[in-house]
Amino acid sequence: MDAIQVENLSKRYGAVLAVDDISFAAPTGATVGLLGGNGAGKTTTIAMLLGLLVPTSGRITVLGHDMAKDRFAALARMNFSSPYVALPSRLTVRENMRVYGHLYDVARVDDRIAVLARELDLGPILDRPAGQLSAGQKTRVALAKALINRPELLLLDEPTASLDPDTGDLVRTWLEQYRTESGCTILLASHNMAEVERLCSHVVMLKQGKVVDRGSPDELLTRYGRHDLEAVFLDIARDRRQAIPA
């Protein structure tokens, strides 16, 4: 079964069609990349997947739940991380984690925090206010918050944005490890093409609200005759090259 099924999804803001009749699926246990330039509709799509935004038309099914009718059942089994959404800065990391532990009804929340602190190396910063952390530490804390409920589906919006290469690599390694161990499905929106090539088994390319291509990274490289996804991304973004017919 697919963890995410999106069918004929559209979102219109007045005269602007932000998402235009897109359909895609994320197989359970896969990491799917949602790629596109600024304004392609990635954030709007993720917001609709999270129930933050009501679609103009179309249907979203997450973990078997219709998001229009039963979104809270799905939300309890998924989680989300984005560098653009903060955690309360005056609360310590531990307090923030407890808040979300309660919101997601996590059993033995302090034990879960201890496990995540060990795995993500948060021990030394657990009792520091979230607002006093470096960008890399904040990213690890945001990831820990996103994993507090052992999600079956993880939505990540640019999880390594503004991180140095070392910290970015640590986060990517940890995500690979977590997906392998937990069988979790990951939907990743990113502008980092190397990251997408490394983590994703499927890629959905968006442009001006439409799905313009899809496939595995290898399939896309072959189709466009390129050696890396960045070149494929630029081909699509700048209408430079069409996919080579199979």
Partner 1 sequence: MRPPNLKPMFRRIWGLMYRHLALYRRSWPRMLELAYWPILQMCIWGFTARFLAARLGNPGLIAGATLLGGVLLWEVTLRSQMGMSISFLEEIWSRNLGHVFVSPLRPFELIAALIGMSIIRMLLGVVPAILLAWGLYAFNLFTLGPVLILFFINLMIMGWAVALGVVSLILRHGAGAEPLAWGVLFGLAPFSAVFYPVSVLPAFVRPLSYALPTTHVFEGMRGALLHGEVLWGHLAAAFGLNLIWIAGAAWLFTRQFHAARVSGALINIGE
The H or E element spanning position 33 is strand 31-35
The one segment of 76-84, 133-141, 159-167, 213-221 that binds partner 1 by CB under 8 A: 76-84
- Asked if 30 and 202 touch (Cβ cutoff 8 Å), the reply is yes
Q: How many Cβ atoms sit within 10 Å of the Cβ of residue 103? A: 13
Close Cβ partners of 85 (under 8 Å, ≥ 6 residues apart)? none
**For partner 1, which stretch binds (CB under 8 A), given 51-59, 170-178, 186-194, 217-225?**
51-59
* CB closer to partner 1, 79 vs 233: 79
Among 1, 15, 69, 72, binds partner 1 (CB under 8 A): 72
Estimate to the nearest angstrom the gap between the alpha carbon of 87 and the chain centroid.
17
H or E segment and range at residue 20: strand 16-27
Of these, 3, 19, 67, 87, which contacts partner 1 (CB under 8 A)?
A: 87
61's enclosing H/E stretch is strand 57-62
41 binds partner 1 (CB under 8 A): no
Interaction pattern, residues 143-182, with partner 1; x per rule: CB under 8 A: --x-------------------------------------
- Residues of this chain that interact with partner 1 (CB under 8 A) are 13, 43-44, 47, 50-54, 72, 75-76, 79-80, 82, 84-92, 95, 98-105, 129, 145
